[in-house]
Amino acid sequence: MTAGTIERPTFTGNEAQQALAQEIYQLMAAQGRLFAFDAPIRQTLQNLADFYARQRQMDPAEAARLIDEALRVNDQVFMRQEINGDVVFITSRRGRYVPPQVDTLHTFKQRLYEPENPLPVDDISVVVTTTRPALTTVEPVFISEYWQQQAGLTPVVVERTVETPVEPVVAAPVVAEPVGVSAPVEEEERRVAPPAEPPQVNTVIVLPNGLQIDLRRPVAELMAQHGNTLMSQLRAAIENDPLRRLVMFGNQAFPEAALVSFGKNDLRRISDYIKEVGEPLLDTQIIADIFYHNPRQSDYEIFRFALNYRLSREKDFEFVGIEGARLWSVRNLPAIGTKRVKASEMGQLAGYIEEGFDDSLAEQSVESIRKSGQVSHILTFFEWEYGILPLTRALAALLPQPLLADQRSAVLRFDLPQHYLSTLVELRYPTGNRGGWLQGLEALFHDYLVPGALITLMRTDDPRTFAITYEEQEETQDRLLVLDETKKTPKFTFANISYACVVDTDMLVSQQQYGRLRNLKAFPMNERRKADLMLEHVFEIVGAPVGTRMKPKYAASFETLFVALNVLRPASHEYLTHLLTEGDHFAPDESRPGWWFYTPPPSLEEEEDEDQDEEHFDDEE
């Protein structure tokens, strides 16, 4: 309804009554100015009289009488009601009040049930819509307890009701006999009303790996018994949590939402700083030098955690630290160690360790290494030449484990305290069937040691620093094997080398002992991974020919083969034994323990002959 339809009420009575009625109407209309047009506007006579008497300075009772008379005369505008003894006048903005009439002629209820015999519903589409809702709702699917238990999602609850009925039957004769008649009554009572047990709440939880844990047991007890499983399962759950409520770095966790964020600019500054220094940096150094964060600040550890976590998620940064020394490296940082052996090649060369042919613990147990914190080792030619030490079980017991699950390498510092030298060494961890190794010891080995030197690697107080020591002796000069790479084709030769370290004379690759090794072919690294072929070549070089020209055969001692094979590639005694016993063309010399024969296959013989007299055989072919 619009303002144009407003009815102007007309008032009756004498002049004074009309004026009073109009004034009260305007007053009540003002009171209900925000009401609906038909909405009742109520006011008591008492209120109206008080207002009127105060305004006119007259007696309220007189005012009430005048108002009552004036409004009674205008009953077409004001409806008069008496509620609990109070007189109430009702009007509306329309100028009169008409109580609303509820129309019950056509109700939904009637439409459902009338007529009494409704028409049949022929088409279900009349009452059920066939259109799909715009948004599909995912309803919860009930999975029965049986299948939840089968899937290991819920523990199998052991029924405990078996114990209850057995008890009264056993106890009944003992109690019943002396009491006589009253005994059966008691028994009856006990059967009727068994002891009220509180309903059992299942306190057993099942871990994703199926392990059942009873949470009623103390936490310390649970941790002592299942600590590793509980920790690994929680770690896995945290790492797989899509909401990332907690995030982990190494063995530490913190809510991601509470971590400081690092922008691109921060990351660039960190990267530039590491490149400027030229070697991996500790997280503490980055924080101090770039962010000027003080360890005494209360949020220092959170800031440190945030930095490590954030860098671990960046592709350009690589974690090369260990527990206690969190080091970060970046791409394009100068490589540590030799470039002559690629990582992929070295991983394959050291693969024999992962295959189980590692005898490094034959003389030292893991416990003794961990307790003493040192490992002794005799350098082979390959190790000396390339500054590489395969990561044997013995070395692995000494060196730190990776902190992160996907960590590829760690950068350590190796000191040579006898010469006050220090060098960075990269520890490459084994992956799959590829072995691990240490690289970066080339200069240190070449300057002070020779193949056959007995070295000792030991821990220091700093978790990332290790020391290499050797026993000194008077300086000696000898002609030792070296790899001459000055020419286009690298070749082995002997050169005068002075050394002042104690050596294992059997392992010292001197010209006097192993003069034939100059004939070894310096195979490319990718070929040296074929250990069986390398052994055959080594056998032909160092072995004593015991066959004929048509049927060549070589004999060599195990130790000679070990030294010679370790010129071309790393190998353990156990691995060499495996190669000799599994090889088709090797046979032990029954008359001399520790000696082996090698009979080259015919095809190899022809190829050799081709090499020796190429033209002659070419003509024949």
Partner 1 sequence: MMDGKNIIYGETALDKLAQQVRATGQPQDIQSLTERYLEILRELVLAGEQQA
**Residue of 62, 189, 299, 471 that binds partner 1 (CB under 8 A):** 299
Q: 10 Å Cβ neighbour count for 530?
A: 14
What number of chain residues touch partner 1 (CB under 8 A)?
50
**CA dist 578 to 573, 582, 586, 589, 607, Å?**
9, 6, 11, 16, 27
- Does residue 206 bind partner 1 (CB under 8 A)? yes
Instruction: Please report the beta strands in 199-249, taking only residues with DSSP state E, as ranges in sequence order.
Output: 204-206, 212-214, 247-249
- Does residue 222 bind partner 1 (CB under 8 A)? yes
Binding pattern to partner 1, positions 498-537, x when CB under 8 A?
A: ----------------------------------------
| Alpha-carbon span 11 to 19, nearest angstrom | 8
| Alpha-carbon span 537 to 561, nearest angstrom | 10
Q: Which residue, 254 or 273, is less far from partner 1 as judged by CB?
A: 254
CB of 244 to partner 1, least distance (A): 10
DSSP symbol at 126:
G
| Alpha-carbon span 13 to 575, nearest angstrom | 128
Strand partners for 591: none
- Does residue 138 bind partner 1 (CB under 8 A)? no
- Does residue 301 bind partner 1 (CB under 8 A)? yes
Q: Which residue, 5 or 228, is less far from partner 1 as judged by CB?
A: 228
**Sign of the dihedral defined by the CA atoms of residues 215, 219, 221, 222, in that order:** positive
**Residue of 39, 176, 230, 424 that binds partner 1 (CB under 8 A):** 230
**Considering only CA atoms, which of 95, 55, 73 is closest in space to residue 14?**
73
**Residue of 208, 417, 545, 594 that binds partner 1 (CB under 8 A):** 208
Q: Which residue, 164 or 209, is less far from partner 1 as judged by CB?
A: 209
488 three-class SS:
coil
- Does residue 546 bind partner 1 (CB under 8 A)? no
Contacts of 512 (CB under 8 A, 6+ apart): 478, 479
- Does residue 260 bind partner 1 (CB under 8 A)? no
- Does residue 246 bind partner 1 (CB under 8 A)? yes
| Alpha-carbon span 587 to 581, nearest angstrom | 7
Q: Which residue, 239 or 607, is less far from partner 1 as judged by CB?
A: 239
- Does residue 255 bind partner 1 (CB under 8 A)? yes
CB of 152 to partner 1, least distance (A): 11
- Does residue 493 bind partner 1 (CB under 8 A)? no
Contacts of 81 (CB under 8 A, 6+ apart): 87, 88, 89, 90
- Does residue 241 bind partner 1 (CB under 8 A)? yes
**Residue of 231, 277, 443, 533 that binds partner 1 (CB under 8 A):** 231
Residues in 143-172 at the binding interface with partner 1, rule: CB under 8 A:
145, 148, 153-155, 157
**Residue of 53, 67, 88, 248 that binds partner 1 (CB under 8 A):** 248
- Does residue 215 bind partner 1 (CB under 8 A)? yes
Q: Which residue, 65 or 245, is less far from partner 1 as judged by CB?
A: 245
| Alpha-carbon span 268 to 274, nearest angstrom | 10
**Sign of the dihedral defined by the CA atoms of residues 555, 556, 557, 561, in that order:** negative
Q: What string of DSSP letters covers 44-70? A: EHHHHHHHHHHHHT--HHHHHHHHHHH
CB of 516 to partner 1, least distance (A): 56
Residues of this chain that interact with partner 1 (CB under 8 A) are 145, 148, 153-155, 157, 198-208, 213, 215-216, 219-220, 222-223, 227, 230-231, 233-238, 241, 245-246, 248-249, 251-255, 257-258, 298-299, 301-302, 305
